[in-house]
Each structure stands twice: as structure tokens, then as C-alpha cells.
Amino acid sequence: MIPIEGSISGGTMPEPRPRRKLPTLSSITAFVERFLAGAGFDRAPWLAVVLGGGIVTWFALKSPWQWASAIGLGLLLALAGAALLRIEAEDPADDRPHLRAGMIALGLMFALGISLIWVRSEVVGAEAVDRPGVESVQGRVLAREDQPARDRVRLTMAVRDVSTGTARKIRVNVPLEYIDEGMAEGAILEMRVRMMPPASPMLPGGYDFARAAWFKGLAATGSLVGEIDIVQRSKNDSGLPVVQRFLSSHVRERLSGSPGSIAAAFASGDRGGISEADEEAMRDSGLTHLLSISGLHVSAVIAAGYIIALKLLALWPGLVLRVRLPVVAAGVGALVGIGYTLLTGAEVPTVRSCVGAVLVLIALAMGRDALSLRMVAAAAFFVMLFWPESLIGPSFQMSFAAVIAIVALHNCAPVRAFLAPREEDWAATISRRAFMLLVTGFVIEIALMPIVLFHFHRAGVYGALANVIAIPLVTFASMPLIAIALVFDTVGLGAPFWWLAGKSLELLLGIAHFTAEQPGAVNLMPQMSWLNYALFIAGSLWLALWKGGYRLLGFVPICAATIMLLLTPIPDVLISSDGRHVGITMEDKASGERRLLSLRDSRSSYSKDNLLELASVKSEAIPLADWEGAQCSNEFCVVTITRGARDWSLLMARNRERVEVRALAAACERADIVIADRWLPSSCRPKWLKADRNMLESSGGLAITLADRKVKTVASGQGAHGWWRGEPR
């Protein structure tokens, strides 16, 4: 027999190729384990992220069965990790500690996050009043907030519902002329109040006051009708609220005008005296964070207490030899910070900042690295455990984003090398520090931009430059001068320091107004979707929390989110939840810029600002009746706009006067969209959409994109959460 060793052509036969094995579950888990082990994976920050992810999931899901299912999925993940631990016990060679511990911890944190916010909602949430109306109420004042810039005082009261006999919390705006000192915390007042249920968003993407009021326990807001009868005057002539009001009044007496209002905000947390023009200038210049008592202010106060205590204690030789002065100084700084937090109202941002600063003091006392992501994670854990609802607010997101950006930037090896001590003259050292301050400002602005765009639909361009000057000015000049002036006021010698503090605050306001008035200082963008925002946040967290070259993968979702944002269409038609306010985006043929046509020339700045922001229009709205091409009568307006290669006819009601049914039916038949703030008869049948009161009561406000016939509603983002009064969708 002749052995066959080759092919017909005489060559050798090729060996068969080995089949490529498909990845198994074991190989995938082994790859994940090697990846985590080699990446310097730090669990603590990511546990805080997952806890927050559970909280956000509760807000995003619509119904209780979905919330319960999500909790179950988290627990299943933890059980799967526990099962792997059991496998390890049976097979000692199988060693995947990172993956097992991660599965258990992440699953439990996710389930805990959903459970926390669900329980919080059930415990503190208050059912809103059914409808607007005028009621006579008697109740006890729980909190008083003076707002002299708006000529009013805001009272939060506990009143008893006459029909049900249950207590509820309401908030009432009272003109200053009706207020006296006896109407403080603890007073019992009787009055007539025009009450309104807390308002849901006017438009998709707008501010949800109903949700904020739900977690504050507010059942209604309103305004005074008539006069107030004092049943029992306040007996609370001491306590923190009284001290806070006295301090605020004293500061405004020593410094008049806008500087005095800003100084009162720094000293006591009272922002009620700041004018609307100054508020807008600070917002548009990117300096509004300076008005809220948060990280900058608390850190400055604690640092001052720490340094002063350390220097004074060092003058006592016997104490220096017996105790560790940094530990004692850290205790003094912590007490000073806690006192300042309580004095300024102990709002959630202030408490959050105080917790973070105290953790820094503990790290310093123990000789540990004070600026670490674990410290930030611990502060976030604390806040989310007690106030989980704060996670979805801009204050929480902006403050933690800024701190994470600072810590991540300064922990990078190139930055550490750049800031490392070296032999050089003082000019070079100052130059390096100033350059790093500018870079830090730009990094913070970039980190905050998606958050600002998502919540406020605007972003400042020159904020980083303004902050480079404003933050050192407030930290090293304005706040120390205010503190020194208050101390010297005890002996009647504070006037020179108040003058200097006033000049520094005039400079701060000058920077704010100058920056806000520059061309292109503010850019408006359309409403960002939740998916778009989630990609921004996920990419940013990956960049900040990961280590090594893998952190650059965070740019992938950030780039995708940026492209999505740039491709987001601006709504063509905006309709408020009550149907009264309609905005239509049009292009001005003369100037070529986008303009907003408004159905009603509303006096409400809230309504106008919502329409302009969500339409991404900077200039003032134009009344629809003044627009060329619009046809308006006393009852209706008709306008035709071109979108998506076709003309769209809109019919909009201007009032609630009776209209002949046949004429209305004929007009509706010719229109593509009909909008009204009243119920329209069934005979009104437009070609595409009838947005009357019947529809809007269940859908809420609308944002319509005509090219793709897309209608976004307020109700689509609400579900069965307690604060939403419409139908779940």
C-alpha cells in the first residue's frame, strides 16, 4: 500500500485549521477580572455612583411594579455574586475576588438606591390640593423667609384642613406691609389665602416645582387675600432663625444697595435682598454659585477656623509638647463649619459641603490625603442616605461635578508633576499656580456644561475667566472682610472694614455685569434628552474615576452625546399645560435669526422665560398678532408655517368667548393643529392634532417637532409618581 502524503500535485496536504472557540461565560468573567485587577479599580466611588443610579432609576421608571422589578434585579445580581463565592469555596483554584465582591456590592447598592427614594417619597410626600381656590386658614408658622427685593415675606405654615381634619403644609407669600416681628416661627395666624396646587412643568423639560414641593411636604402655595389676624404672637425671640434675620438685617444696615444684599447672603445665607438684575448677571456670567452657601463658603470658613486655631495654639509651648495641634485645630474648624452651616439655614447644599469639609479635616488630622475621590464618595453617600431626592437637582450635580473634576485633575500624574515644589523664584511659582487656576476653571466649566444645559438650557462662555478673578476675590477679600467687620462691630470699629468689603463686592458685581453683557456670553440649547444626558454623565464619570489609559474610553459616550445634542431639533411649537401660552419658532427674513412668536403678550416673566429658553431664542418674543402672515380676530389666530417640505396650518384660541359651533367646525377642518385653553366640541376635528383642555389636562405641556410629527409631552416623563396629577403615561 502506498501511503498518501501529498495532494495530486505532489505537495503535502495542509493540516486542518483548529476551530476558533467561542467565548464562554467563564472566559468572559476571567477577562473582566483581569481587567479590573489591572486597572487599579477603586470600589468606593463606583458604589456611590451605583447608589445614585438606583435613585435615578426610580425617577425614570413609571410604576410601582417596575420599581419592585428593578429592586429584584439588583438583589438577583447580588445573589449571583454570592453563588460565585460558593463556587470558590468548592474550588479554591477559582479566584475572582473583584468580580464576586463587585456583583454583590453593586447589586445591593442599586436595590438600596431605589428603596431609599421610594421610602422617602412615601414618608415625606404630601398630596396636593385638588384645585385652585380661596380658603380661610389658621395655622402655625414653621419658617419665615424675608424677600425684601420682591417686597414680600414667604411664610411656610402648618394648617388644618377643615373638611378632612388633617394637617397640611402650605407656603404663602405675604406683602411686606402686612408683616410685623410677631409673625415669626411659632406664631399662630389666621388669614384668607388664594391657594394653588404646586405647578407641574409648564413645558417638557421645564422646572418641576410639583416634584420639589412633594419632597418638601408642601400641599399648596398661595398669596394673601385681605389682612392677617394674629391669634398668637411668636414667642421665639431666640434661636437660629432669629439670629439669622438679625445678622442679615445688620449687614444690610451697614452696607446699602446691591453689595449689602450680597454680603447678607454670604454672612447669613439670606438671598431675599438680591435684585433680579443682579441675580441674572451672576447667572449669565457663571458666578451664581457664589450666592449659594456651599463648598466655597464653607471651606473658606473652616479653613480660616483651622488656620487661626493652629496659629494661636502654637503660641502655647506646653500644649505643643502634649497634644497634636492639627487634631485640635481640625476639631475647632469642624465646630466653626457646623456653626456656620446652622447659622445659614442648614440647606442641603450647605450640609453637603460641611460634611465634605469635615471629612477633609479628619483626613488631615490622620495624616491622610485630604483630596481623594473616596472622600467625595463618602460625602455623596451621606447626602443620598438622608436626602436621596437631591440627587436629581442641579445643586447636587453641579457641586459634586465641580469637586470631582478638581480632585481628578489634581490627582493626575502630569498635574502633580507640574505643581510639584521646585527651586525657582516667586514669580515663576505664582505664574504656575495662576495658570493651574485657569486650567482648573476651564475643566470645571466643561464638567458643568452638560448639567447646566440639561437643567437650564443655557451655558455661559466666559464663566471660567470670570471665576478665575471672582473666586479668589470672594475667598480672600470679601468673606474675610465681612467676618472682620462683624467682629469689630462689637466695639463699634467696623466701618472701615465694611467700606472695604463693599468695594470688593462692587468689583464682584461689576465683573458679573460686564461678563454677562458681552456678545455671545450665553448660549441657549434645546432640551437635552435623558439618554443624551446619561451619556454625558457616564463618560464624565469614567474619565474622572477610572485610572490609566482606559479612562480615555470615557470620550466615546461624550462624543456620541455631543453629536446627539447638536442634532437635537428645536421644537417648532410649544404649548403650555393650560393651553394659554403658545410659542412658535420662526425665522426673521430681515435679520435671518430665529424668533419666537407668542400667542399672548404675557406679563409673567416665568411663562416668557420658559418659552424663550426651550425655543433657544435670546431676543424678546413677538406677539403673534404683530407677525406678518398671521391672521388674528378677537377669538382666534391662524398662522401657516412651512416645515418638512409642507405647510402646516395652526388655529389658536385667544379667549374663552362662545363661538358658533358650525363656524368652529369649519375652521378646525381647515387646520392641521388646533390649540385652545378650553374644551372644544367633538365637531372640531383638525387634520392632525387637537390640543384642547381635555387633552392638556392629561398630557401636560407639549413640544411639537413638525418635520417628523413628534409630540413630546410632560406626562411622558412622570408616570405614577405621587406629585403628578395627570394620567400616568
Model confidence over 98-154: pLDDT tens digits?
Answer: 567 778 888 999 999 999 999 999 999 888 888 888 888 889 998 888 888 888 899
Rounded average pLDDT over 704-713: 90
Q: Which residue has the higher pLDDT, 337 or 57?
A: 57
Dihedral of alpha carbons 439, 441, 442, 443, sign = positive
State the cell numbers at 367: 495624616
pLDDT value of position 211: 93
Q: Which residue in the block uniquely carries the three cell numbers 458685581?
A: 509
Contact 47, 109 (CB under 8 A): yes
Q: What is the pLDDT of residue 5?
A: 42
With a cut of 70, say whether residue 16 has pLDDT above it.
no
Residue 80 has pLDDT above 80, yes or no: yes
d(CA 228, CA 189): 7
Q: What integer pLDDT is reported at residue 18 of this predicted model?
A: 53
Share of the chain above pLDDT 70, in %: 87
Weakest-pLDDT range from 90-94, 261-265, 353-357: 90-94
pLDDT band at 311 (very low <50, low <70, confident <90, very high): confident
3-class state of residue 272 by DSSP = coil
Maximum average pLDDT range among 88-92, 590-594, 678-682: 678-682
Residue 279 has pLDDT above 70, yes or no: yes
User: DSSP secondary structure string, 662-680?
Assistant: HHHHHHHHH-SEEE-SSPP
435-441: which pairs have CB atoms within 8 A and are 24 or more residues apart? 437/468, 437/472, 438/464, 438/465, 438/468, 439/409, 440/405, 440/406, 440/409, 440/410, 441/465, 441/467, 441/468, 441/471
Residue 499, pLDDT score: 93
pLDDT bucket at 479, cuts 50 / 70 / 90 = confident
Q: Structure pTM?
A: 0.84
- Enumerate residues 6+ apart whose C-beta is below 8 A from 714: 200, 201, 203, 204, 206, 577, 699, 700, 701, 702, 726
Instruction: Answer yes or no: is pLDDT of 394 > 70.
Output: yes
Cα–Cα distance measured from residue 464 to residue 477, given in angstroms and rounded to the nearest whole number: 19
User: Mean pLDDT score of the chain, rounded to an integer?
Assistant: 82
Q: What percent of the chain has pLDDT over 90?
A: 24
Span 588-631, pLDDT tens digits: 776 667 888 888 876 667 788 888 888 888 778 888 888 888 88
- Separation in Å, CA 202 to CA 199, 693, 721: 8, 14, 17
pLDDT band for position 238 (50/70/90)? low
Give yes or no for residue 269 having a pLDDT over 70: yes
What are the backbone dihedrals phi and psi of residue 657, each rounded to the nearest 5 degrees, phi first? Answer: -70, 150
Give the pLDDT of residue 3. Answer: 44
Q: Where do the CATH 2.40.50.320 domains begin and end in the chain?
A: 133-236
Predicted confidence at residue 4, as pLDDT, reads 41
Higher pLDDT pick, 235 / 47: 47
Query: Which tens digits make up the pLDDT trace of 498-544?
Result: 999 999 999 999 999 998 888 877 777 777 888 999 999 999 999 88
Q: How far apart are CA 294 and CA 475, in angstroms?
A: 12
* pLDDT tens profile 148-196: 888 889 999 999 766 666 788 999 999 988 888 788 888 899 899 999 9
pLDDT 10s digits, 419-477: 777 777 778 888 888 788 778 878 887 888 888 888 888 777 777 778 878 888 888 88
Question: Do 126 and 214 contact (CB within 8 A), yes or no?
Answer: yes
pLDDT band at 88 (very low <50, low <70, confident <90, very high): low
Mean pLDDT of 365-381: 77
Q: What is the CATH number that goes with domain 133-236?
A: 2.40.50.320
722 Cβ partners below 8 Å, 6+ apart?
Answer: 121, 125, 127, 214
Range 574-600 average pLDDT: 84
Q: Is the pLDDT of residue 220 over 60?
A: yes
Of all residues in the chain, what percent are helix, strand and coil, respectively (each to 5)? Answer: 55, 15, 30
* Residue 206 reports pLDDT greater than 80: yes
